[in-house]
Amino acid sequence: MASPAVDFARSNQARFLDELKALLRIPSVSTLDEHKGDVLKAAEFVAADLRRIGMENVEVIPTKGHPLLYADWLHAAGKPTVLMYAHYDVQPPDPLEEWHTPPFEPTERNNNIYARGAVDDKGQLWMEVKALESLMQAHGGKLPINVKVIFEGEEGSGRRSDRRVCQEAESEVESGFRAGLRYGTVRAEYSHAVRRPARVGVHGD
C-alpha cells in the first residue's frame, strides 16, 4: 500500500515533469559569462517553488560568483535534521553536433528526457524539491523531519564562492543524516513513486 506522499507524487507526476522541463529550458551555464543572467533565473525559478510548497527562510544569496540558494523547515522537534544538496547550473552543451535534439529543449524519447542538466543535476534537484512537496502535502503542510536545503550555482565552474556558507550549514546538521545527490530517504520515496513513465535521461545522447 503506497503512502499518501507517494500517492500525491503519482497523481501529480505530469505536472512535476512539466515543471522540470521548464527548469531544463533555462541555459544556466555557469562557466560562460553570457549566461550569468540565466544562472540567476534558474536560482529564482527554484526559490519560487520552494516558497510555494511551504519551505521557509528561502534566500537567493549573492556570492562573488553565482548565487547560492538556501531554504529550511525546522519544526520537527526532537527529529533529526537532513541537509539536502544539489546544483542548478550546468556545463556548456558542446559539441552541439552530437545532440539529436536541442540541448535546452527537453525531449522525451524511449521514456527518457534528453536535455542538458536532465541528470546532472537539475533532474536530481527537482526530484528533491518534489519529494519535499509530496511529503508536506501528505503531512498537512509539515515534514516528518527537519530539513535544510543548499542548492548551488557553481558546481559546473568549480569556483565554489559559496564554500564557507555550505560548510557552516553542514556543521549544524546532526551527524548521520545527509541527503546528497545519490542518497536520502526523502528523495528515494519520490523516486519510487515516479519510476513508471519517464525516467530522467543523461547529458546528451
CA separation, residue 201 to residues 43, 45, 56, 109, 192 (Å): 22, 21, 31, 9, 16
DSSP helix, strand, coil percent of the chain (3-state; round to 5): 40, 20, 45
> What is the rounded CA–CA span in Å between residue 106 and residue 66?
24
Q: For 202, what's the count of Cα atoms within 13 Å in the CB-facing half-sphere?
A: 5
Residue 202: exposure state from Cβ atoms within 10 A (0-12, 13-18, ≥19): middle
Q: What are phi and psi of 69, to 5 degrees?
A: -110, 125
Q: Which residues are tagged catalytic? A: 89, 155
The partner residues of 199 in beta bridges, in order of sequence, read 112
Copy the grid coordinates of residue 179. 541527503
Closest CA to 135 of 77, 184, 203: 184
Alpha-carbon distance 136 to 130, whole Å? 10
